[in-house]
Amino acid sequence: MSAAESEPAENSPGEGGRTESDPTESGPAEGNASYGHKEFKRSKSHFADRVTADGRDGWPVEAGRYRLVVSRACPWAGRSLVSRRLLGLEGALSLGITDPIQDDRSWRFTLDPGDRDPVLGIRFLSEAYEERESGYPGGVSVPALVDVPSGKLVTNDFQQITLDFATQWTALHREGAPDLYPQRLRDEIDSVMEAIFRDVNNGVYRAGFAPDQSAYDAACRDVFRRLEWASERLASRRYLVGETITEADIRLFSTLVRFDAVYHGHFKCNRRKLAEDPVLWAYARDLFQTPGFGDTIDFDHIKRHYYQVHSGINPTGIVPLGPDLGGWLTPHHREELGGRPFGDGTPPGPVPAGEEVPTSGRP
């Protein structure tokens, strides 16, 4: 088992699971209002079963059996969207997309006709949690894999889901799918991902939900120290590890693509913008313009979720008009560093019909 596989699966409030201020514990209004007033702390995924080739946990990989439920607002769910696209799992694993705004039962399917997921037939993701464990008291998180025949949640372990997509779902990968977690590079990938998770993926939340100045100062410094480290690493190489896109790039991208839109202002990570770091800004644009990355991003969902749900740190619920998104489509010139995005593989095909990001969410 790799370091990444053995790492505790920790989740994001309102997105990937429970924290001490989880809105599902005492009602969303009180919970959301408590953000920024209690110490930010992650908890492990309660449902950590794995869908594997050998079905060791009772959940074998099987085309059409499972549904991936995500919010396009959530960075943890965003990873699974990118991985699913790059590996070409769209035909084998259906997709449910929740409303970016939650109500008292958390993630809801109000974007679908009749306010019900058309495959699962449920109005709230919490119904799949309840089907799995009656009376489950914890948070309702995305990404979530749901067993379609039984309607039961299988796993909400976002750290493991994408690793399993890369290594356990290989029989269902598209022809030309890249190797996102190559065996020979796993130790290095795990080390890089651990640092990015601690200081960047999780760090922006520790800064944004900090209850006092000292906690904020420490978290914000960690964020930018690690971003500087990443910038130096990427100054002379196109990707974080090796010559191709790996899981490490997916995880860093999921935070970088949200940085100027929400983390810079809403979470006060404002020592500088992503667009003010020439290396990271070019790196993020390179990935955004790579099929499978930017075509999963909905900036409208991202902004509305953060600014309207986290009432404890944005009580007015006002969503800012900026930033200008046009820069995401400008030339990045990162190809001059070499590297092969998909290795010996090929880019994914077009976004499946019905899964396109609406115009309102695109640059």
Active site residues: 74, 205
CA–CA gap between residue 196 and residue 86 (Å, rounded): 21
Beta partners for residue 94, in sequence order: 67
Q: Please, how many CA atoms are within 13 Å of residue 26, restricted to the half-sphere of its CB?
A: 10
Structure tokens at 212: 């006092």
Helices (H), 68-116: 75-87
Residue 182: cis peptide before it, omega within 30 degrees of 0: no
Structure tokens at 314: 């944005």
CA–CA gap between residue 281 and residue 8 (Å, rounded): 30
Backbone angles phi, psi at 260, to 5 degrees: -70, -30
Structure tokens at 49: 């079963």
58: left (phi over 0), alpha (psi -120 to 50) or beta: left
